[in-house]
Structure 1
Amino acid sequence: MPELSFILDDLTAATEFVRSLNRKIVRQRFSASGTWNPDRVVLAVSSGQIVAMADCVISDDGRAANGSLLAHPNSGAYAVTALLHLKQLVSVECWQSTLRVPTPATISISRRYFDETFDQAAWEISNELMRLHGPQHHLQPVPIVASASLLRTYAIPPLHRLDAASRSQLLAAAANPAVAAIRTPAGHVLDSRGLMAVAFELSNLPMQARQHVSRLMLLGTAAAHGHTCDMRLFQKLVRPDAMATFAEGVRLAHASDNQVGGIFTFEPRQRDLVASFLEKVATKSLPSALT
């Protein structure tokens, strides 16, 4: 790779670079709203030409950055280099990415270089719900890939190295998360969002189905907590059969891996607490439903 130089935070140059790209690439990158207001931008320059860009939007609390990449054809490596330079400039706890039209290349980059990767539509729905109801954990979307960072955080071995019994444990928990949680050998309890992301991978669920499941879970959880959701948005963005597709994928994967043992342990949930939660959901008496 030729030596690169970088241009920092030049929105005029960045806009010109975006306009120079194929329209299909731009549509895959940007949201339908067309708004783009990055906090930081790094442009990668090779042989006097801008060949790639990495940009990010920093969360209000300064803890996370949502980053994106763009590059000329066959210049993806330059975009990754720009991202690595951007990470040196922006100190946050979590790097996030969003994908409108996932491709093998963008999925691979997201899995390796980002902590969390979301469906673009689910991310926009989440932001709107939080704007209306305030930041709440249950209004965060489910990641559509299990990142290398996620596995490191919970001390889970690479998924392709897991034995069938351990895969079976994860899939069993994903199939019935209200009954038990998963505790890793390092003692970490895998949260529901992480468990779903892992289950997506183990069931080899197609990316489009993952996107629809993520949207469905977010809107369903928001409604269960008493938040009003626009049904027209639901009908436009969500395939009703998404959860059935996911459940069938988990069932088939679990059946093929169903063996005794495994490196994980089940952490039984307190049934009284679960019952209490479900009752509050049914009566819309959760704290978030009262505000």
Structure 2
Amino acid sequence: MLIRRFRPGDSADIRPSEITSESVYLNRRKLLQAALATGVTGIGAAWTHDAAAVTDLKAQRNAKYSLSDPPNSYEDITTYNNFYEFGLDKGAPAANSGRFKPAPWTVTVKGEAENTGTFAFEDLIKPHPIEERVYRLRCVEAWSMVIPWDGVPLAAALKQFKPTSKAKYVAFKTVYRPDEMPGQRGRSLQWPYVEGLRIDEAMHPLSFLAIGLYGRTLPNQNGAPLRLVTPWKYGFKGIKSIVEINFTQKQPPTTWNISAPHEYGFYANVNPKVDHPRWSQARERKIGSGLFGSRVPTLMFNGYEQEVASLYRGMDLKKYY
């Protein structure tokens, strides 16, 4: 399998992550833990939770499915997020997710499958070795990151439920906890968040269930404890904090398509030839690339065209966007 190499894009301004290496950042986290232990005040709830809850994972890099590009820093990835359940600003998830409890966790499996029911998170993941894959995340807002995800292939996780021949799609649902997720108290979107894939997309080798990043369990702001990663699609397909998997015969509703169907389609494949109604998708910037970075052309299917184009052979991608 060929995984393409990408050039860095640009950033609109200089953020702390652009001048802070990961090693320095992790040392900062150790200092924060020490400060918490000695009762120093003034540290936000998100940092308190991060220091307490993020633990190490034992994951082996899967080079076959990994970019060779250097990943964004841990700080980039954990402080610049879209997770509207915790707020609309990019920094809101890190600031507002400290009260969220990702354990214990269960996932309900239903629909067109032989093995359905409610499963503990540990039982869902345990049968499969944890691996690391370095994928490129491209958001519909025309920015991107390179992220070292830790998790299991989605196909491996789904096959244990033995979907039947009637299962044409896989639907996912995010947990609904407005007491812990302040964004769900508002009406920015219809809650809980829902997403879906065609069954062949879900079973594709690139589709991934992430339970961590940088060798550590997912922080709350990144979708703890379980999120979907489909690197050839825009980031909003990457549903977070999954509590339900449903094998369906019909195409399931998806949150952004419900909210703005003229702007967000079911497929959400990265396509530089199909613009968002309010901005171009032809170019992008990479978060963390520094003041002198330049915007670069967006690649079809986010650079994974060779691997996934056959899934959409014969489809009008301007109609099925």
Is TM-score (shorter-chain normalized) higher than 0.5? no
The two structures have a TM-score, normalised by structure 2, of 0.28
Q: TM-score, normalised by structure 1?
A: 0.30
Bigger relative contact order, structure 1 or 2 (CA pairs below 8 A, ≥6 apart): 2
